[in-house]
Structure 1
Amino acid sequence: MLRSLLGAQKCWGLIHSRNSMKVANKHAPASFAVCKRHFSPPTHIKQSAVANESGTMAEIKQEMMKRLGLEPGYNPLPKSREQLLKYQPKLEDLSPRAMQDSFTSAIIPLSTDRTLQDKYVTYLGSVRFGRLLEDMDMFAAWCCHKHLKLPNLPEGVHLPYTFVTILVDRIDFTNVLASGTQDIRLSGHVSWVGTSSIEVVVWLEQMVAGRYQKLTRALFLMAARNATNTGAAPVNPIQPANEEEKLIWAGGADRKKTRQILCAQSVFKVEPNDPEQTLMYELYKRTTPRNTLELNKRILPPNCRWMEDSFQMSTIPSFPEHRNHHNRVFGGFLMRSALEISWAAAFLYCKTRPKLEHISDISFEKPVSVDSFIKMTAYVVYTKLNYVQIMTVADVLDTQTGSQVTTNTFYYTFSAPDTVTEVLPRSYHETMWYIQGRRKFEASMGLN
């Protein structure tokens, strides 16, 4: 389990859940109370930050383009930035920064911008969380801009840096039902840095009854690259200003170690552990006829569905409007697309509107060009009581050869009002997905 930013955990359980969830939750064992690792911005950092309001997200996008020397409009041959390489500093030239130097906030003005509302609202009037993931990704890059301070950059020279998203650490959601017509505030700051990697914590809050209520919190791991995105670039180190910042810094170092351990222990890299192998044998016995003469057959137990019949797929052509500042497909767009098809898969599986509870770690393995076809496939890989675990795989299709390369794998935990049909694997390959999905689910529930 990941340590919190302040080295503590705050368990919200399932209190304050929506009325539609009460029936399902009363059947859940006590251990299934969801431990929501959701935090407010540290008081010291928030109060000490200078000029921390950055306006609206639209204004942030314009300011980032201005700093990078980019202009509106698409050009298949983007403007060269090679002339900026000579301005990249050395690590020893960069002075330490405090965490409050990068703390900032921004508004999504849904209460006043009716045109913007149309992009964010669902047919029930709630907010599209996929849109918010796009904003959080861009806001994390903006915090990197705020952290970076280049002492020898001549006035008028554009920023000789590129920031890309490496991964998004686990995202938990509170039980506040976000509205699509009320302002949403993003806030965040840099919480840890390496030589060229930057961890940013981002909070989402919405105005409810005259005060901001917490929606979610996420950790973004960003990479600083040079002006042409061909190599790593150094960033200012962090000098913790007090004990609070020292704890936040230590948490960032711990999370880096934890990510490395979890990556090495993935079921796709090492064999399942002993309890998981026992579970695999139990699944085999449940789906194999007792008649020893029919070992080549599989049977589906009552109230179950095969995993192979429990998926949704879409193929998305990408366009320049989906690009980031560096003419690649925007990571936020990939996150939004994956979330929305995952939600659809959960909805169609449960036959009722599901609630998003948790998003597991999201990694970005390969850049995606703006002329790509992206295949999104959302599988139901694990179920427990009224919970559904979705694994969504993003593949880029080669239009010439027909081959495909996986660029992202996403894991989402949804809950339904009632107990859902159990999903079961049929092949060994699917069983590995089942085991991995079970791990992600238990981590999201705070069970390991």
Structure 2
Amino acid sequence: MFRSLFGATKYGFSRPDYLTDIRKLGSPAQPWRAAVFIRQYSPPTHIKESAVPNESGTMAEVKQTMMKRLGLEPGYQPLPKSREHLLKYQPKLADLPPRAMQDSFTSAIIPLSTDRVLQDKYVTYLGNVRMGRLLEDMDMFAAWCCHKHLAVPQLPADVHLPYTFVTILVDRIDFTSTVAKGTEDIRLSGHVSWVGTSSMEVVVWLEQKQDGSYKKLTRALFLMAARNATNSAAAPVNPIQPANEEEIKILAGGMDRKRQRQIICAQSIFKVEPNDPEQTLMYELYKRTTPTDTMELNKRILPPNSRWMSDSYQMSTVPSFPENRNHHNRVFGGFLMRTALEISWAAAFLYCKTRPKLEHIADISFEKPVSVDSFIKMTAYVVYTKLNYMQIMTVAEVIDTSSGGDRNQTTNTFYYTFSAPDTVTEVLPRSYHETMWYIQGRRKFQYSMGLN
């Protein structure tokens, strides 16, 4: 299925997932490492070299510009400033002119080479960059690309933008072997690559300046929703009119990705029963963990060099504060992504007992908004292992304080793939519920590694 979806192009960009069929093979010292697919990270030449002004300054300036366009001011107010007066300026779809992809292409800098205060916020104790911080920036930058795409000719010049933008999901993210340093500038670039009636897909690249040139770090797809000024209903966005043949291919790829997301969602292990090979795997797991010399009910045995899934998790309860809010007084999606990544990294570290490397982030969906006064429970489970890889499933829940946590509400589920220098202990499920997590984690791992 995976290989049939992707085909090479001149720019390495028209594949539905912007992949190039380059395999990263194991070294002679580690011939057992699975082959993985590496993404093509660079923006297409025709967009990057367009005449459209595309430099947006620093990420701090991007944030300020977005707040100004939306009519927001710094400083927390428990009751946000009303934006109901902007509803009358909401345009109709017919009033919005088509836009080319190059119209929304832009870039911004995280100035780590010159801002020492910023360095403290981004650096790890080894001097590398905290990847969770970069996820926060990529989420905000995706919203900025939506601003760049939107053009409302009939909006008076002195009226603020009658829109809000929220993240629906983040598509699969792969990372190159380049290690991001905490003292060098990082550049974000991206553009809107597909639109529906009120949704926009945004591709975001991340690069860092090393040895005088920018090195590729990662590339991600964000699916954003356009909402009206009060975030109470969907709002239309400008359609895309491709500027050339390459943009036509990119747009077609966006349609393919939409269909693929619908298929994956419909086939979720939490919605339909496992397929035949998976049911065979479940029986094999049962046989491996059930003693043959007794008929005692529910007795399970742990094979050598393995651990139960129920003993392989880490949990953290995080209070949210106004500092973590977005432009609409809800918890910023980037904050949730950063927090989930960091607890997942800790779970992987403690499982394999050495520093793991983040290889992939599977699709992240945002099911429900989170209030800024919430307690957020993050639980990171090791749900699948293969050779030197660990698949982590992290569940984010908002704690219902009135019930003492008995009626928590799940808001997000995250899937991360980490690698260790050596083969890791195998994780195994002990209950049927855990077996479903195991199957789901295996699916995410195979999808991320290009094995299905």
TM-score by length of 2: 0.96
Match of 2:397 among 395, 398, 402: 395
Structure 1 residue matching 2:252: 3-state secondary structure: helix
Shift of residue 13 of structure 1? 2.8
Match of 1:26 among 16, 31, 37: 31
Q: Is the 8 A contact 1:9 1:37 kept in 2?
A: yes
Task: Report the equivalent of 1:163.
Answer: 165
2:407 is equivalent to residue 407 of structure 1: no
Match of 1:6 among 3, 8, 14: 14
Q: Is the 8 A contact 2:329 2:372 kept in 1?
A: yes
Q: Is the 8 A contact 1:381 1:390 kept in 2?
A: yes
What's the CA shift string for 1:2-38, capped at 9, x where partnerless? 64841263144336x8xxx874x3223xxx2110123
Q: Distance in 2 between matches of 1:417 and 1:181?
A: 26
Q: Distance in 2 between matches of 1:178 and 1:191?
A: 26
Identity of aligned residues (%): 81
Q: Distance in 1 between matches of 2:438 and 2:283?
A: 13
Whichever residue aligns with residue 357 of structure 1, its letter is: E
**Count of aligned positions:** 440
Structure 2 residue matching 1:13: 3-state secondary structure: strand
Q: Distance in 2 between matches of 1:398 and 1:284?
A: 36
Shift of residue 291 of structure 1? 1.2
Return 342-351 or 395-404, whichever deviates more.
395-404
Q: Distance in 1 between matches of 2:272 and 2:425?
A: 30
After superposition, the CA RMSD in angstroms is 1.2
Match of 1:420 among 424, 429, 440: 424
Structure 2 residue matching 1:6: 3-state secondary structure: coil
Task: Report the equivalent of 1:190.
Answer: 192
Structure 2 residue matching 1:123: 3-state secondary structure: coil
What's the CA shift string for 1:386-435, capped at 9, x where partnerless? 00000000000111123200000000000000000000000000000000
Shift of residue 437 of structure 1? 0.2
Q: Distance in 2 between matches of 1:170 and 1:422?
A: 24
Task: Report the equivalent of 2:436.
Answer: 432
Task: Report the equivalent of 1:141.
Answer: 143
Structure 1 residue matching 2:268: 3-state secondary structure: coil
Q: Distance in 1 between matches of 2:58 and 2:90?
A: 29
Shift of residue 51 of structure 1? 1.2
Structure 2 residue matching 1:179: 3-state secondary structure: coil
Q: Distance in 1 between matches of 2:182 and 2:438?
A: 35
Whichever residue aligns with residue 52 of structure 2, its letter is: V
Mark the CA change 1:3 to 1:169 in structure 2 (over 3 Å): closer, same or farther. farther
Task: Report the equivalent of 1:377.
Answer: 379
Task: Report the equivalent of 1:152.
Answer: 154
Q: Is the 8 A contact 1:13 1:34 kept in 2?
A: yes
2:300 is equivalent to residue 298 of structure 1: yes
1:352-367 equivalences in 2 (<5 Å): 352-367=354-369
Task: Report the equivalent of 2:43.
Answer: 41
Match of 1:442 among 417, 441, 446: 446
Shift of residue 262 of structure 1? 0.2
Q: Distance in 2 between matches of 1:374 and 1:383?
A: 27
Structure 2 residue matching 1:77: 3-state secondary structure: coil
Q: Distance in 1 between matches of 2:115 and 2:213?
A: 20
Q: Distance in 2 between matches of 1:172 and 1:163?
A: 25
Task: Report the equivalent of 1:68.
Answer: 70
Return 41-50 or 338-347, whichever deviates more.
41-50
Structure 2 residue matching 1:429: 3-state secondary structure: helix
Q: Distance in 1 between matches of 2:92 and 2:19?
A: 38
Mark the CA change 1:407 to 1:107 in structure 2 (over 3 Å): closer, same or farther. same
Shift of residue 299 of structure 1? 0.3
Q: Is the 8 A contact 2:322 2:372 kept in 1?
A: yes
Match of 1:315 among 314, 317, 322: 317
Whichever residue aligns with residue 392 of structure 1, its letter is: T
Shift of residue 49 of structure 1? 4.4
Shift of residue 39 of structure 1? 2.4
What's the CA shift string for 1:243-294, capped at 9, x where partnerless? 1000000000000000000000000000000000000000000000011433
Structure 2 residue matching 1:48: 3-state secondary structure: coil
What's the CA shift string for 1:147-172, capped at 9, x where partnerless? 00001001110000000000000000
Q: Is the 8 A contact 2:344 2:392 kept in 1?
A: yes
Q: Distance in 2 between matches of 1:355 and 1:374?
A: 25
Mark the CA change 1:280 to 1:49 in structure 2 (over 3 Å): closer, same or farther. farther
Task: Report the equivalent of 1:286.
Answer: 288
Q: Distance in 1 between matches of 2:92 and 2:365?
A: 28
2:247 is equivalent to residue 242 of structure 1: no
Structure 2 residue matching 1:383: 3-state secondary structure: strand
Misfit runs of 4+, over 6 Å = none
Match of 2:181 among 179, 182, 187: 179
What's the CA shift string for 1:46-78, capped at 9, x where partnerless? 111411000000000000000000000000000
Shift of residue 240 of structure 1? 0.5
Q: Is the 8 A contact 1:3 1:251 kept in 2?
A: no
Q: Is the 8 A contact 1:3 1:255 kept in 2?
A: no
Shift of residue 295 of structure 1? 4.2
1:190-339 equivalences in 2 (<5 Å): 190-339=192-341
Unmatched 5+ residue regions in structure 1?
A: none
Whichever residue aligns with residue 411 of structure 1, its letter is: Y
Structure 2 residue matching 1:146: 3-state secondary structure: helix
Q: Is the 8 A contact 2:324 2:335 kept in 1?
A: yes
Unmatched 5+ residue regions in structure 2?
A: 8-12
Q: Is the 8 A contact 2:24 2:38 kept in 1?
A: no
Task: Report the equivalent of 2:10.
Answer: none
Mark the CA change 1:173 to 1:279 in structure 2 (over 3 Å): closer, same or farther. same
1:102-113 equivalences in 2 (<5 Å): 102-113=104-115
Q: Is the 8 A contact 2:200 2:225 kept in 1?
A: yes
Q: Is the 8 A contact 2:320 2:376 kept in 1?
A: yes
Whichever residue aligns with residue 406 of structure 1, its letter is: T
Whichever residue aligns with residue 427 of structure 2, its letter is: V
